[in-house]
């Protein structure tokens, strides 16, 4: 039973489409469940700022790999691959079709491809953190650019953890972090890739509207709670778009207007990186956000794959 992946940039409507597809497949007698592939939706309590799908919006479709970690815990691609593959395999053993949905391209590739994952060395990591503690974000990012300009172009310089991780991999393996990409890697299992796309101007307008709605919906209260739990010093969660900006407002270092504007800017930058990343998926079916034919396109492809699986079985008999 092949894996279905619905990927795309932030605010392209992936979560809602995945639920629609799962329900359409259910009507065809194909039980389906959804697996999260958003790096920040694995955290408990980070709901509004990550646009995590609500219980009502799930419409009875089981969802997996949400709310897995506390914000003080570190999420890595290696951890995600292990958890996601275990969940997907268990679903398939139950005869359930897995639909993986998200915009974290590195996490998606970690799951669907058999690429080698670079190791880690706590001693090297600790030394790098100490040696670079006095550097600005820009200076640290420049160090990465010297050894791996491709990774430097793809990693936000404000994300010091990821920048140091990329430098660590270079020191540990002698290879650029970017060389561990899965462009030509063997698939873990048969996979159908769908990428949701929309015009940049439309996406930007949607992002601005959604960010305003997040603040109206309680973003600052959510961050106030997370702040008491250690958000500011969290290894991964603090890098979620909008949370650092909301913290700045919470502690009086900027106005709400500035926090919202900074979040919109950070999100549009993220979308640009996501669009570039998913452009490499040459075998993916490209779908336009909001097209009413999207549900049928994916559901029919899944049904066809399952029919071919049955036809290919050695003991399959035809009338």
Q: What is the spatial distance between Cα 131 and Cα 151, in angstroms, rounded to a whole number?
A: 20
Q: What are 280-292's pLDDT values in tens digits?
A: 888 899 999 989 8
Name which of 24-28, 142-146, 177-181, 259-263 the model is least confident about.
177-181
Give the residue among 147, 166, 146, 169 at the shortest CA–CA distance from 155: 166
* CA 269 to chain CA centroid, nearest Å: 15
Percent of the chain, pLDDT > 90? 69
As a 3-state breakdown, the chain gives helix, strand, coil percent values, each rounded to 5, of: 55, 10, 35
What is the DSSP secondary-structure string of 236-256?
SGGGSTTHHHHHHHHTTSS-H
Find the mean pLDDT for residues 10-19: 95
Q: What are 239-267's pLDDT values in tens digits?
A: 999 999 999 999 999 999 999 999 999 99
Residue bearing the bigger pLDDT, 54 or 177: 54
- Are 302 and 30 contacting, i.e. CB atoms less than 8 angstroms apart? yes
pTM: 0.83
- Residue 181 above 60 pLDDT? yes
Backbone angles phi, psi at 226, to 5 degrees: -65, -30
| Amino acid 317: pLDDT | 44
Find the mean pLDDT for residues 175-203: 85
* CA 21 to chain CA centroid, nearest Å: 19
Domains of the chain: 3-115+181-312 (3.40.50.300), 122-180 (1.10.20.140)
Distances in Å between the alpha carbon of 21 and those of 18, 104, 148, 205, 288? 5, 20, 40, 26, 15
Find the mean pLDDT for residues 103-110: 92
Position 310 confidence tier, pLDDT thresholds 50, 70, 90: very low
- Are 223 and 243 contacting, i.e. CB atoms less than 8 angstroms apart? yes
Q: What is the spatial distance between Cα 15 and Cα 102, in angstroms, rounded to a whole number?
A: 8
Q: What is the spatial distance between Cα 31 and Cα 92, in angstroms, rounded to a whole number?
A: 10
Average pLDDT, the chain: 90
- Residue 110 above 70 pLDDT? yes
Please report how the helices 14-27 and 294-312 are oriented relative to each other, as an axis angle in degrees rounded to 10: 50
SS3 of 146-162: the string is: HHCHHHHHHCCCCCHHH
- Are 22 and 32 contacting, i.e. CB atoms less than 8 angstroms apart? yes
């Amino acid at each position: 039973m092949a894996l279905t992946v619905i990927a795309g940039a932030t605010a392209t409507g992936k979560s809602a489409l995945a639920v629609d597809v799962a329900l359409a497949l259910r009507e065809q007698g194909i039980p389906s469940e959804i697996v999260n592939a958003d790096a920040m939706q694995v955290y408990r309590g980070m709901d509004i700022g990550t646009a995590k799908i609500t219980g009502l919006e799930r419409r009875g479709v089981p969802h997996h790999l949400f709310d897995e970690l506390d914000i003080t815990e570190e999420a890595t691609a290696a951890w995600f691959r292990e958890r996601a593959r275990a969940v997907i395999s268990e679903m398939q053993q139950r005869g359930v079709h897995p639909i993986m949905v998200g915009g974290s391209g590195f996490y998606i590739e970690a799951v669907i491809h058999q690429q080698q994952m670079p190791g880690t060395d706590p001693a090297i990591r600790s030394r790098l953190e100490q040696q670079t503690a006095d550097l600005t974000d820009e200076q640290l990012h420049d160090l990465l650019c010297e050894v791996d300009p491709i990774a430097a172009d793809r990693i936000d310089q404000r994300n010091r953890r990821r920048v140091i991780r990329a430098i660590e991999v270079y020191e540990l393996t002698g290879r650029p972090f970017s060389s561990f990409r899965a462009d030509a890697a063997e698939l873990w299992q048969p996979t159908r890739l769908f990428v949701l796309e929309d015009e940049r101007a439309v996406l930007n307008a949607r992002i601005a509207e959604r960010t305003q709605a997040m603040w109206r919906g309680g973003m600052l209260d959510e961050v106030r709670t997370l702040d008491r739990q250690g958000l500011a010093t969290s290894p991964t969660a603090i890098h979620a778009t909008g949370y650092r900006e909301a913290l700045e407002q919470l502690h009086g270092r900027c106005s709400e207007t500035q926090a919202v504007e900074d979040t919109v800017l950070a999100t549009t930058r993220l979308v640009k990186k996501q669009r570039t990343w998913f452009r490499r998926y040459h075998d993916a079916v490209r779908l336009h956000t909001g097209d009413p034919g999207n549900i049928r396109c994916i559901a029919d492809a899944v049904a066809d794959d399952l029919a071919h699986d049955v036809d290919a079985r050695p003991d399959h008999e035809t009338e």
